[in-house]
Amino acid sequence: MGFKEWLNEANYVNREDAFNAFLTGKLNVKDLTKVADKLGTQIATKPELEMFLKNKFMQNVMSDTYKIPSNVLVKKVKELMKHI
């Protein structure tokens, strides 16, 4: 299955859907970038990501929401920052 078919099948309709898929491991950074391009938007801005990295409360909330350890979320956000 090619990316185009996969993207249509996954049905990402906004940046939040795509970002959630990235955080939960359904998309890697490269595919997340492709989805963002297809949607015609940026997934997150560097200031938004920097704010997340400084805000332990937000890290804990997202960790609870996604059932992902906060250190994994921080690692994924840092990875994403390298591509913005």
19-41, pLDDT tens digit by residue? 888 988 889 999 998 888 888 88
Instruction: Answer yes or no: is pLDDT of 7 > 70.
Output: no
Phi, psi of 59 (to 5 degrees): -60, -45
Domain boundaries, the chain: 3-81
Cα–Cα nearest to 7, from 32, 41, 44: 32
- In whole numbers, what is the pLDDT of the chain averaged over residues? 86
CA dist 44 and 30 (Å) reads 14
Q: Are 25 and 75 in contact (CB under 8 A)?
A: no
CA dist 51 and 4 (Å) reads 33
